[in-house]
A and B are shown apart, each in its own frame.
Chain A
Amino acid sequence: MSERIYRQDGLSLVLTRWGGKATVTWQGVSDSRHPAQFLTPIIAELGDDLKNLEVTVDLRQLEYINSSTVLPLINMIKRFDANGKPVRVLFLEVDWQRPHRNCMSAIARTLKNVQVEGLLPA
């Protein structure tokens, strides 16, 4: 198992790999003015690095994202989908994450390999 962390301001992306699987866990707050400047290179890097792995994007530890973060987040999911391996996207079943989950579910219907799940808080 290996772990890599990308961090900027209040946002961390934690990459965990084991066997044929990987999880990208988003933690904290993404409210910078240009989140794409931080996220786009990471999306490109992970898209290539994880191309042969089943990927889970875990958003349950996100506390807040601004609207400028919505597109980079979608781009990450679409980039993983393009690899042709199963992609799970995990949301927390709480009020503030539900609209994002519904949005991602609608987008996932246009993608081939993405499954969106809402999970109850532990």
Chain B
Amino acid sequence: MDELTLDLSVAEVWASIRETRERIDHLLARHPLELRFATKMAGSELLENAAKYGAPVAGAPCISFCLTVRGDSIELITKNGCKDLEDVDRLQTIVTQISNTHDPQTLYLQMIAEAALRPTSNQGSGLGLYRIAAEGRFVLSCHYDGEIVRMLAYRSHP
């Protein structure tokens, strides 16, 4: 199968997330429903995270989103600026925790149970990344350099 790509540079992120899911759905129209949903969900959650924790910086004035579909794999990449090192630390801690588990589903359930016990705060639920790994079966990695966060979600498929 030829490589399929969706490249977006997003300024008004929240208004674009639903449209991005629709674009992914269209791009993956010939793929199994489960894969389409997983990819839409993962792309949506990555964009939401980028919108919540991102900020414009010189090297990344807006959020970029790239989906690449190859014959045997799917790759999602978001890039956004971020000056808050506490947010970056938190993000990297979560990604490391997910990478170190053999059972993302159980980890996701644990995180939901813990989040349900916490008092409500303005901070996000923090569940999106766990969900991408558990429900979407994507492998996550995170890189921070020059005030830019680069998130990668990768999944192989038959």
Residues of A within 8 A of B (CB): 10, 29, 31, 33, 36, 40, 64, 66-68, 70-71, 74-75, 78, 94-96, 99, 102-103, 106-107
- CB atoms of B116 and A67 under 8 A apart: no
At the interface, yes or no: B120 with Cβ under 8 Å from chain A?
yes
A-B contact list, 23 entries, CB within 8 Å: A29-B18, A31-B18, A31-B44, A64-B21, A64-B41, A66-B44, A66-B128, A67-B125, A67-B130, A68-B48, A68-B125, A70-B112, A70-B127, A71-B127, A78-B116, A94-B33, A96-B37, A96-B135, A99-B134, A99-B135, A103-B112, A107-B112, A107-B113
Q: How many contacts A-B (CB < 8 Å)?
A: 66
Give the residue among A29, A67, A99 with the most B Cβ atoms within 10 A.
A67
- The docked-state distance in angstroms from the alpha carbon of A66 to that of B41 is 8
Note all chain B residues with C-beta closer than 8 A to A67: 45, 48, 125, 127-128, 130-131
Note all chain A residues with C-beta closer than 8 A to B116: 71, 74-75, 78, 107
Note all chain A residues with C-beta closer than 8 A to B51: 33
At the interface, yes or no: B34 with Cβ under 8 Å from chain A?
yes
Note all chain B residues with C-beta closer than 8 A to A36: 120
Which partner residue on chain A sits nearest B122 by CB separation? A34
B103 to chain A: closest CB distance in Å?
13
A76 to chain B: closest CB distance in Å?
12
Note all chain A residues with C-beta closer than 8 A to B108: 99, 103
At the interface, yes or no: B105 with Cβ under 8 Å from chain A?
yes
Interface residues of B in 42-75 (CB under 8 A from A): 44-45, 48, 51-52
- The docked-state distance in angstroms from the alpha carbon of A74 to that of B112 is 9
- CB atoms of A66 and B45 under 8 A apart: yes
Interface residues of B in 80-117 (CB under 8 A from A): 105, 108-109, 112-113, 115-116
Note all chain A residues with C-beta closer than 8 A to B33: 94-95
A77 to chain B: closest CB distance in Å?
10
B35 to chain A: closest CB distance in Å?
9
Q: A33-B52, A64-B21, A66-B45 are in contact. List 18 more A-B contacts (CB 8 A).
A: A29-B18, A31-B17, A31-B18, A36-B120, A64-B44, A67-B125, A67-B127, A70-B131, A71-B112, A71-B115, A75-B116, A95-B37, A96-B37, A99-B105, A99-B135, A103-B108, A106-B109, A107-B113
